[in-house]
Amino acid sequence: MIDQITVFLENSEGRLAALCRTLAWANINMHSLVIADTTDYGVVRIICDDPARAIDVLKSADYRVISTKVAAIGVPNEPGGLAKLLATLDELGQNIEYGYCFTINGGMACDILKISGAKEASEAAKAVEEAGFKLLTLDDIA
C-alpha cells in the first residue's frame, strides 16, 4: 500500500496551476495526477515522492487535503492485463471504489486501486501476488 494525496480544489481558473506550483516550489515530484470534477470543485489525486511533506506543504498553503492508502499493483502493459487483475480481485470479493492507471518502465502498467472487500488486505495482497501481479512501492513507481 502507498499513500495517495487527495486535494479538494475549487473549480476555478488557475487553481490547478497554483496547486502544482506549490508542490514544485517545495521540490516535490508528482508521479501521477488525476482529476475528477463537478460543477463546483475538483478532486485531485496525486502520487508523489514525499506524501507526508506534500500534505504539510499543502495544508500550510490552505488546501483541503487528505491521505489515503491505495494499492499500487504492477500489471503487464498488454491487452487484458487489467481485466485479469480485476477478475482476481472479483474472485476475492474485493470491491474497487476507484482506480487509475499509468505506464512505468515501458512494459509494465501501474494500477492504483482503492480497494475494500471481504478479504483482509494481507490476504488479498498475497492472492494478487500469487496470481502473478506485483505489489509496488513508491520506489518502484519513481
- Where in the chain are the domains? 2-67, 70-141
pLDDT at position 46 is 97
The beta strand positions in the chain, using DSSP E, are 2-10, 30-37, 41-48, 64-76, 94-104, 108-117, 134-135
pLDDT at position 91 is 86
Same fold, 2-67 and 70-141: yes
For the domain made up of 70-141, give the CATH fold. VC0802-like (3.30.2130)
- Decide if 137 contacts 1 (C-beta within 8 A): no
pLDDT digit of tens for each residue in the chain (142 aa)?
A: 899 999 999 888 899 999 999 999 999 999 999 999 877 889 999 999 999 999 999 999 999 999 998 999 999 888 998 999 999 888 888 888 899 999 887 788 999 999 886 566 667 777 788 888 899 999 988 7
For the domain made up of 2-67, give the CATH fold. VC0802-like (3.30.2130)
- Decide if 46 contacts 112 (C-beta within 8 A): no
- The answer to pTM > 0.85 is yes
Q: Residue with C-alpha cell 508521479?
A: 31
pLDDT at position 120 is 67
Q: Measuring CA to CA, how many Å separate 118 from each of 25, 68, 93?
A: 42, 19, 5
- Decide if 73 contacts 136 (C-beta within 8 A): yes
Count of CB atoms within 10 A of residue 136's CB? 20
